[in-house]
Amino acid sequence: MLDLTRRAVVAGGGTAVALAGVPALAATTTPLSIGVLTPANTSRPGSGQALLDGLTAGFAAAGRKVALTERPIAFGFAGAADAATELAAGGAQVVVASVSTLSAREVAAACAEAGVGLVVANVGAQVVDEPLAGAVQASLQHWQSSLRMGEWAAGHLGHRLFAIVAAPDAGYDTVYAVRRGFTSAGGRFEGLALTHGADSGTVEQAARAAKRSGADVVAISATGRRAEQILRACRAAGLRAEIVLDSLAVDALGRAARGTYSVASWAGRTDAFEMLGRDAALLVAEGEKRLAGRGWDRLGDALAGRTVNGLVVDKRLRTVSKPLVVRRATSSVATRPAVRGVPASMRTIDPDRVAGYVNEYLAT
């Protein structure tokens, strides 16, 4: 990992870092000023540093010198828009914001007013159904991965699905995307058990309910220690169904996730947030070429409909997609096509849906 402080640093330095499929270019002399809003106080304490490392590597690979100024934003992202305004006032030409989709609206308005570019680089736990003025939205494609997981599971693991959801993680589009994918591929949804809430059952009760349902696939939507507790309860109950997990939970659980399946936009030992930073850097570098001196607040327009090193920028939404990987524990099983736009299976809203969490960094 590169050692970055929480002050302005110069990255790239004329030395290109080799990235697969990304040609190293001659470095530009004048550093590009990038302000970075990183998530603080999350369940993944190294995610902000990993994002910075990825930005550094991505800009170096593109041959672009940059000065990165980091501004950590606490849980809930209060003050993110003000921080973006301050970064712009300090000379930032582009802001890379690791904030939620909901918080990004205010950040985008602040960046547009200041005339700076914006790349939202987040988990992607919420569906984006409208573009942000002047911005590009890159993510770990969390809900898209869950949708593809459901589709793949219905075709390869079984035809009956039961879901176990931890209440603190229940307010993300990611949670119901796996069910939508499963049923859209011909599978049947058998039911749901809620855990870790004031009115919820225990993890042991949830595991027994999953077993009684007769489902051959069980989807666990939970993070951190909650995911581990549910997984252990399922194994203790003698559950024979195949288990699909949240992709970030799999990485956090390590060996405890053995035998489970997930879908992600990264594979192997790649750090998810470092990859996200690299992607954001490559988008900015390409955008600069296409802007050709025009204002940075037109970054989204410059990249709309373009493909940048395998990253496809949706022409209308300005969201970024790429192929996804089916994983069993830590090994790759298959690839799945990218999810572009918002498919029909994700447009109908469940009456009890609560997709309104401000935080996407699983910090609860």
pLDDT tens by residue, 86-132: 999 999 999 999 998 888 999 999 999 999 999 999 999 989 989 99
pLDDT value at residue 350: 54
CA-to-CA distance for 336 and 147, rounded, in angstroms?
11
Whether residue 341 sits in one domain with residue 206: yes
User: Is residue 358 in a domain?
Assistant: no
- Among the listed residues 337, 325, 335, 218, the one whose alpha carbon sits nearest the alpha carbon of residue 272: 325
pLDDT value at residue 364: 36
Tens-place pLDDT, residues 56-87: 999 999 999 999 999 998 766 678 999 999 99
**Has residue 358 got a pLDDT over 70?**
no
Helices marked H in the chain = 47-61, 80-89, 101-114, 142-156, 173-184, 203-213, 224-236, 247-253, 272-291, 299-303
Whether residue 275 sits in one domain with residue 233: no
pLDDT value at residue 359: 59
User: Is residue 364 in a domain?
Assistant: no
Range of the domain at 317: 9-141+270-321
User: Is residue 3 in a domain?
Assistant: no
Express as a percent the part of the chain with pLDDT over 70: 85
Q: pLDDT confidence of 217, banded at 50, 70, 90? A: very high
Residue at token pair 């499929």: 21
Reduced to 3 states (helix: H, G, I; strand: E, B; else coil), residue 346 is helix
Express as a percent the part of the chain with pLDDT over 90: 65
Mean pLDDT on 215-236: 94
Whether residue 294 sits in one domain with residue 202: no
CA-to-CA distance for 241 and 64, rounded, in angstroms?
49
Quote the distance between the C-alpha of residue 325 and its chain's center: 14
Tens-place pLDDT, residues 127-150: 998 999 899 999 999 999 999 999
Helix (H) or strand (E) holding 326: strand 324-328
Q: Sign of dihedral through CA atoms 15, 267, 126, 169?
A: negative
Q: Which two tokens stand for residue 273?
A: 């947030």
Instruction: Calculate helix-pair angle for 173-184, 142-156, nearest 10 degrees.
Output: 30
Whether residue 285 sits in one domain with residue 259: no
Q: pLDDT confidence of 332, banded at 50, 70, 90? A: low
Whether residue 208 sits in one domain with residue 66: no
Domain of 151, CATH number, reads 3.40.50.2300
Whether residue 329 sits in one domain with residue 300: no
Letter for the amino acid at 321? S
**Has residue 8 got a pLDDT over 80?**
no
pLDDT value at residue 289: 96
- Among the listed residues 127, 40, 129, the one whose alpha carbon sits nearest the alpha carbon of residue 76: 40
Whether residue 341 sits in one domain with residue 304: no
Under a CB-based contact definition with an 8 Å cutoff, are residues 294 and 279 in contact? no
User: Is residue 71 in a domain?
Assistant: yes
Q: Which has more confidence, 75 or 156?
A: 156
Bridging pattern class, strands 9-11 and 188-195: unpaired
Whether residue 196 sits in one domain with residue 123: no
Whether residue 84 sits in one domain with residue 31: yes
Whether residue 306 sits in one domain with residue 239: no
CA-to-CA distance for 356 and 172, rounded, in angstroms?
7
Whether residue 152 sits in one domain with residue 78: no
User: Is residue 1 in a domain?
Assistant: no
**Has residue 9 got a pLDDT over 60?**
no
User: Is residue 360 in a domain?
Assistant: no
Whether residue 187 sits in one domain with residue 167: yes
Mean pLDDT on 231-235: 96
User: Is residue 363 in a domain?
Assistant: no
pLDDT value at residue 12: 43
Q: Which two tokens stand for residue 269?
A: 């030992």
Q: pLDDT confidence of 312, banded at 50, 70, 90? A: very high
Radius of gyration of the chain (CA): 20
Under a CB-based contact definition with an 8 Å cutoff, are residues 137 and 87 in contact? no
Q: How many domains does the chain have?
A: 2
Arithmetic mean of pLDDT over the chain = 86
